[in-house]
Amino acid sequence: MQHMETRNPVEQLEETLRHAYVLIASCCDDSYLYSCCMGVKRADQLREVQNEITFYLQLFPLASFVDNTRTWERLLSRACPLCSRETTDDLHAVHHAEHEDRLRTEVLMANGFENLGTHPPSKPEEEKTEGQVMNMRGLADLIGGAKGAELLHFSLSQILAATDNLSDGNLVGNGGFGCVYKGKLSNGVDIAVKRHDASSFQGPHEFRTEIESIPNLRHRNIIALLGCCVQAEESILIYEYMPNKCLASIIADETKRELLNWSKRLQIIKGIADGLVYLHGHSQMCIVHRDIKASNILLDHEMNAKITDFGLALMLAPNTTAEVAVMGTYGYADPEYVATRIISEKADVYGFGIVLLEIISGKLIQSYNLKVKGH
């Protein structure tokens, strides 16, 4: 180990093993009477040492990987000094932008330039109550503007054709917002269709929040919103499809958990961190997600992390806080935010810390699907 941060665990393991040797040697030298009197204390000491050894042995593969990665980065920087980390990150960003633009183009071509515009139809196909019409007009205006970003509009018939009439066979997830279906466009492009539940109290607000926030976000670790459908009583969002589904499903499944070798775990951790840094500091506004958890981290075919579900997101001015109702998920919600109702980007950092522990340990917190009620 060449770096201090990764060498420390090895040195601490060595010290723990030395301590274990001393304990075992002293046990061998103890008299029968001493062993009878102090046996419980000795057992506790040995158990504590055993736990420390187990901890360092689990940590060693990650420390070794980090150390090797840093060594290779140093060697590559010497061999090619012009290829700095910033240059590499820029190349990744350009590659992601090109991929997303290509995906949007494929979606546009699949539906036809004449049938698919950037604005929803001006006339609703079915009669609605006055309240529904006003709500539809509000959403139509919002989608048409989309805060400066183009948002493709799908007809309900296109959604039904892509998802086999929203069949249960294409259902890939559900929650308080509604259901998510896998779909396939006419040219073979896979999409994820998020259908909001009309009876959900938070549904319209979450739908509006996602349309306001996601279209302007372009980052390799943020899910891409491709379009929407607002028709009849349906409010539907269309995203890029993630074949490996969510991080929570991988961790919860003992068979799929084998996909999470240490290099993939580090890749996922870094991806989530990069996505949060972008949301908090490098997007057009400071966006606080408010519900960072394993089930809101999607994984593509290469196990790259994508932050999703911006229904509870808040937009803040940089380096500011706000007092809001408490929303989120038990176990992931920042206790300080829950107690004070003061929100900042620190709430996302707390949630990221919980997800980090889940990734390293390979275990989910028991209450990850229990919702925090608004106060």
What is the average per-residue pLDDT within 279-307?
91
Mean pLDDT score of the chain: 78
Residues 13-25: b if buried by 16+ CB within 10 A, e if exposed: beebeeebeeeee
Provide the strand spans (E) within the chain. Answer: 152-153, 171-175, 178-184, 190-196, 225-231, 234-240, 286-288, 297-299, 305-307, 314-316, 322-323, 328-329, 342-343, 371-372
Look at the chain and count its residues.
375
pLDDT recorded at residue 134:
36
Catalytic residue among 291, 309, 334, 348: 291
Out of 128-132, 250-254, 270-274, give the one with best mean pLDDT: 270-274
pLDDT recorded at residue 136:
46
Among the three residues 219, 240, 261, which one is the final residue of a domain in this structure? 240
What is the average per-residue pLDDT within 287-314?
94
More confident residue, 176 or 91: 176
Question: Do residue 309 and residue 358 come from a single domain?
Answer: yes
Helix axes 130-145, 203-213, angle to 10 degrees: 20
Question: Do residue 234 and residue 98 come from a single domain?
Answer: yes
Sorted by sequence, the CB contacts under 8 Å of residue 52 that are 6+ apart come out as 16
Question: Do residue 188 and residue 160 come from a single domain?
Answer: yes
Hey, what are 174's tokens?
A: 């559900």
Among the three residues 212, 240, 268, which one is the final residue of a domain in this structure? 240
Q: What pLDDT band is residue 199 in, cutting at 50, 70 and 90?
A: confident
Is pLDDT of 282 > 90? no
Question: Do residue 270 and residue 222 come from a single domain?
Answer: no
More confident residue, 47 or 151: 47
Cα–Cα nearest to 23, from 7, 36, 35: 35
Question: Do residue 116 and residue 46 come from a single domain?
Answer: no
Helix axes 32-79, 262-277, angle to 10 degrees: 60
pLDDT recorded at residue 70:
65
Question: Do residue 251 and residue 229 come from a single domain?
Answer: no
Question: Do residue 215 and residue 98 come from a single domain?
Answer: yes
Each residue's pLDDT tens digit, 106-151:
565 555 543 444 444 444 444 444 334 334 445 555 554 444 456 7
Q: What single-letter amino acid sits at 104?
A: R
pLDDT recorded at residue 239:
94
Question: Does residue 164 carry a catalytic annotation?
Answer: no
Question: Do residue 298 and residue 224 come from a single domain?
Answer: no
Q: What pLDDT band is residue 250 in, cutting at 50, 70 and 90?
A: very high
pLDDT recorded at residue 133:
38
* Percent residues over pLDDT 70 in the chain: 69
Is pLDDT of 371 > 90? no
Question: Do residue 266 and residue 354 come from a single domain?
Answer: yes
pLDDT recorded at residue 84:
47
270 carries a ligand binding annotation: no
CATH number for the domain spanning 100: value is 3.30.200.20
